[in-house]
Amino acid sequence: VTDSNDSNEQLKTDSVVPETESIGPLYDDSPESMNRRDLLRALAALGFASATGGIAWGLLEATMPQGVVQDWRKSVCRYCGTGCGILVGMNKEGVAEVRGDPEAHNAGKLCIKGSLLPLLNKAPGRLKFPMIRKDGKLVRASWKKAMSLVTSKFRRAIDLYGPNSVAYYGSGQLFTEETYTANKLFKAGIGTNNVDGNPRLCMASAAVGYTKTFGKDEPAGCYEDIDHAEVFFIIGANPAECHQPLFERIKDRKSVYPKTIIICVDPRRTLTAERSDLHLAPRPGSDLLLLWAMAHAIVEGKLFDEKFVRNHVAFQGAEGQVGWEGLRTFLDDYTPEKVQGRVGIPAAQIRDVASRFADSHATMSLWAMGLNQRVDGVALNTTMNALHLITGQINKKGATPMSLTGQANACGGVRDTGSLAHLLPHGRFVKNAEHRAEMEKLWRVPPGRIQPTPGLDAVHLFQAMGRGEVKCVLNMCSNPGQSLPNLDAYAQGMERSFFVVADAFEDTRSIRYADVVLPAALWIEKEGVFGQSERRYQLVEKLLEPPGEARADLDILVDLAERLGLGNVISAKTSAAVWNEYRKLSSHSKYNFSGMTRARLREHRGLQWPCPDEQHPGTARRYIPGDPFVPASKEHYFYGKPDGRAVVHLTPYESRAEGPDEEYPLILNTGRILEQWHTGTMTDRIAPIRNGTPRGHFEMHRYDAHQIGIEDGNEVEVKSRYGKLTGICRVTTNPLVGTLFAAFYDAEF
C-alpha cells in the first residue's frame, strides 16, 4: 500500500473526448460538491420517476446540440435486458433526442444510459475500416482482403485440424438474426459446437436453473407482476443501478400499496439496499445456506402451500426422486441456527424473512449476478425456484421467480436461439440425439452434421486457444480482453490464436490481441430483433447509415458463410429473411412465436412468446391458462416436464469457493454502476458519462481500511491468486467488512 498525494488527480477526467463532442460535466465528484453517491441518493429521495434518467434529461435537454426533431421513430434501447422501449427523435443530422416510450412496458422511463443514446453513434473512436495486423501493427485493409484472409485461415484450420479447431465467441448484444446465423453457420455449416459467448459469464446458470426446474428456459412471469406483488425478494442484484426502470416500478408499487416490503440481500450497501425496507448482508458465497435455511423455516413454520406441492411439484434428491419427507430430511442440515454463523445473518432474521416471503399474497424474487456468477450458480437458481414452488408463490399475478437478464438480447438472441456450446434452438440440447436429428432436418443439413458432444464453453475455449488447440476465433460484439475472468491466463489464448474481432469502437482491450479487426454497425445502424428478460421480442429498425465502411454483423456472417462455400446453409441473407426462417422454426417447439411477423413487431411494443399464430396477443404468464400450451381444464401445468410437475432440486451446499485466508484475507467483489456499461467501450466515450463518473477505483469498508492503515484516496495494490491491480481506494461503508468492491468499466484503473 502506498500513499499517493496526487491520488485525487487520478479521479479527475482526462479530456480524451474532443471539445466539440463535450456537453460539459453532468455533475462532478469533487469533495466540495455532492459526490456521485449523494447525488444518486438525493435524486432517489426526491422520487424522480426515473431517478437520474429524469434529472439527466432535464439537465441535458438544454445542452443537446442536435436541434429540432423532425420524426419520432419507435425503437429499443441497445444496452440492458430491461429492454426499454424508446422513441428516437430524428432529424437530418441523425438522432436528436431519445425518450422513453410511454406506450412500452417501461411506461416512458429510461435510465441515464438510455437518455444519452443520442450521443452513442457519433461518439469518438468508431471503427470505420477493416484492419489487418502486419508486423505487429494494425493497418487499414479492404473488406475483400480482410475477409479473404479470415476465410483462408478458417479454411486451413478446418482442413488440417478439423472443425473443432475454430470457434465463434458471441454476445447477448447482437440481434437475434445475427446470433442465430452464427450458431447455424458454425454448428450446422462448419460442424463444430464451439459456439459460446459472454452470456456464459452472465446468465448461463439462470438458463440451466429454469430448465432443470421447469423443463424449459426463460421465466414464467413478467414485469407486470411487479404491479401486483406484496413482497420483493431482491438477492444478488442491484436493480436501482442495473435495471433502473424496473426498480422504479417496484418503488411505484410501494407508493400505491404501502404494505409492500422490499428485501435486499447483498453483501454491499448498494443503492438498492438503501432504498429497500430490509437489507441483509450475507457473507459472499453463502446464499445457498441462507436459501435452504429459509426453506427450513418455511417447512418448520408450516408456511408451505401443501395443495400446490402435492399436485404440481416433484422432489429430486442426490439419488433420485424423493417425497416431502425427503425434503424434510435434507433440510435438517440447514436449520437457521446451524447456518447463521457461516451466513452472517442471525437465525431470527432468517425466520423473519422466510415468513415474509411465504406469507404474502404475492412474492416476486429478482436476482442477477450475485447469484448467477457464483460457482454454485445453478444450485442457487434451482433453489430460488424451489422457494417459490414450496410456498406456491408462483403462477399467480405478482408471484414469480424472475431472473433479471443482463444484456439487451441475451434471452432472445442467445438462450432462445440455443447459441451456447451445449444448446440447439428452442430448448434443445446438443447431447440429445433426437434434438440433433430434428435440427438437422429443419436446417436441411445431412444427418450427423451436428456433432454429438457440446463444444467449448467460454472459459474452456480460451484455455484451448492458449494451448494452441483452437486456431481461429471469430469474436463479435464482446470484449473478452477486459471482461473474462482470470484474464492474465486467458489472454494467452487471444494472443496465440488467429483472433478476429468485430467491434464498433477502436482500441478495445480485445483489439490489442486481434489479427483482423472488422468494423461493425451499431444499434440503429442495422435492423433486428431483441428479446428481453420477460420473453418480449421487439424490433429495432435501421434509422442511420453506419460510419465509413462499417457493416452489420449479419452481413459479415453471411459473407463468411459464402466465402466458406456454405452459402446454401445460410440461405437467408437479410435480417427480415432470417427472422422469417427462425420464426417459422419455432413452431416446432414450445417456444412457438411463429405469429410474430415482422409486420406485427413493427406495429406492437413488442410481443411475448408463446405467440403461435398471427392473431395471438402473446403470453404474459406461462404454465397457467392463457398460455397456449396449457389446456383450459388445468389450473397449472408445467408442460416442460413429462409429468407436468416442476422439480425442486435438493442440491446441498458445498464450500467450493475459495474463501479468504491469512495470505488473502479480503474478498474482491466486482460489478457495475448506473451510468457505465460493462467494459466502457461505449458509455465511457459519452462525455457526460465519462465526466460524471470516477475513474476505476476500489471501495473498502472503513473498518478494514483502519486495520490496514489505508486512507480515503490512497493508491493501493490489490493482489489475488490470479493477478494484481493498482488503483485508488475509496473508504466507505458500502461493502461488508472483509470485502472490497470494484466496478469493471475502466480498463486502466
Ligand X SMILES: Nc1nc2c(c(=O)[nH]1)N[C@H]1C(S)=C(S)[C@@H](COP(=O)(O)OP(=O)(O)OC[C@H]3O[C@@H](n4cnc5c(=O)[nH]c(N)nc54)[C@H](O)[C@@H]3O)O[C@H]1N2
Q: Which of 11, 55, 84, 202 binds Mo ion (CB under 5 A)?
A: 202
Whichever of 141 and 202 has its CB closer to Mo ion, that residue is 202
Cell output for 571: 440461405
Q: Write out the binding residues for ligand X, residues 374-403 only, by CB under 6 A.
A: 374
CA torsion through residues 632, 636, 637, 638, sign: positive
Whichever of 267 and 671 has its CB closer to Mo ion, that residue is 671
Under the binding rule (CB under 6 A), the answer on residue 412 touching ligand X is no
Please give the backbone phi and psi of residue 625, each rounded to the nearest 5 degrees, phi first.
-55, 140
The Cα 679–Cα 482 span in angstroms is: 6
Residues in touch with ligand SF4 (CB under 6 A): 77, 79-80, 82-84, 110-111, 113-114, 243-245
Q: Write out the binding residues for ligand X, residues 715-744 only, by CB under 6 A.
A: 744
CB 26 within 8 A of CB 691: yes
Under the binding rule (CB under 6 A), the answer on residue 263 touching ligand X is no
Q: List the x/- string, 1-40, binding to Mo ion by CB under 5 A.
A: ----------------------------------------
The Cα 187–Cα 194 span in angstroms is: 8
Q: Which of 7, 164, 478, 592 binds ligand X (CB under 6 A)?
A: 478
Q: Which does 522 bind (CB under 5 to 8 A by kind): ligand SF4, ligand X, Mo ion, none?
A: ligand X
Under the binding rule (CB under 5 A), the answer on residue 204 touching Mo ion is no
The Cα 327–Cα 323 span in angstroms is: 7
Q: Which of 167, 322, 461, 682 binds ligand X (CB under 6 A)?
A: 682
Q: List the x/- string, 201-240, binding to ligand X by CB under 6 A.
A: xx--------------------------------xxxxx-
The Cα 728–Cα 731 span in angstroms is: 10
CB of 10 to ligand SF4, least distance (A): 27
Q: Which residue is nearest to Mo ion (CB)?
A: 406
Q: Write out the binding residues for ligand X, residues 96-155 only, by CB under 6 A.
A: none
CB of 407 to ligand X, least distance (A): 4
Q: Write out the binding residues for ligand X, residues 590-629 only, by CB under 6 A.
A: none
CB of 370 to ligand X, least distance (A): 3
Cell output for 389: 414452488
Say how many Å lie between the first and final Cα of the chain, rounded. 15
Under the binding rule (CB under 6 A), the answer on residue 265 touching ligand X is yes
Q: What strand order describes the sheet that includes 697-701?
A: 667-671, 739-743, 697-701, 724-732, 715-719
Judged on CB neighbours under 10 Å (0-12, 13-18, 19+), 570 is buried
Query: Which bin fits 19, alpha (ψ -120 to 50), beta or left (φ > 0)?
Result: alpha
How many whole angstroms from its chain centre is CA 673?
14
Of 512, 542, 506, the closest CA to residue 524 belongs to 542
CA distances from 469 to 423, 476, 514 (A): 22, 20, 18
Under the binding rule (CB under 6 A), the answer on residue 344 touching ligand X is no
* H-helix or E-strand spanning residue 96: strand 94-100
Whichever of 392 and 401 has its CB closer to ligand X, that residue is 401
Q: What would the DSSP string read from start to end of 461-514?
A: HHHHHHTTS--EEEEES--HHHHSSSHHHHHHHHHHSEEEEEESBSS-TTGGG-
The Cα 670–Cα 242 span in angstroms is: 13
Q: Which does 505 bind (CB under 5 to 8 A by kind): ligand SF4, Mo ion, ligand X, none?
A: ligand X
Q: Write out the binding residues for Mo ion, residues 380-419 only, by CB under 5 A.
A: 406
Candidates 58-66, 305-313, 678-686, 704-712: pick the segment binding ligand X (CB under 6 A). 678-686
CB of 634 to ligand X, least distance (A): 34
CB of 325 to ligand X, least distance (A): 30
Of 312, 411, 385, the closest CA to residue 623 belongs to 312
Q: Which does 84 bind (CB under 5 to 8 A by kind): ligand SF4, Mo ion, ligand X, none?
A: ligand SF4
Under the binding rule (CB under 6 A), the answer on residue 287 touching ligand X is yes
CB of 691 to ligand SF4, least distance (A): 19
Under the binding rule (CB under 5 A), the answer on residue 118 touching Mo ion is no
Q: 41 by DSSP, 3-state: which?
A: helix
Under the binding rule (CB under 5 A), the answer on residue 484 touching Mo ion is no
Return residues touching ligand X (CB under 6 A).
80, 171, 173, 198, 201-202, 235-239, 241-243, 265-268, 270, 282, 284-285, 287, 368-370, 374, 406-407, 476-480, 483, 502-505, 508, 520, 522, 553, 669-672, 674, 676-679, 681-682, 744
Return residues touching Mo ion (CB under 5 A).
202, 406
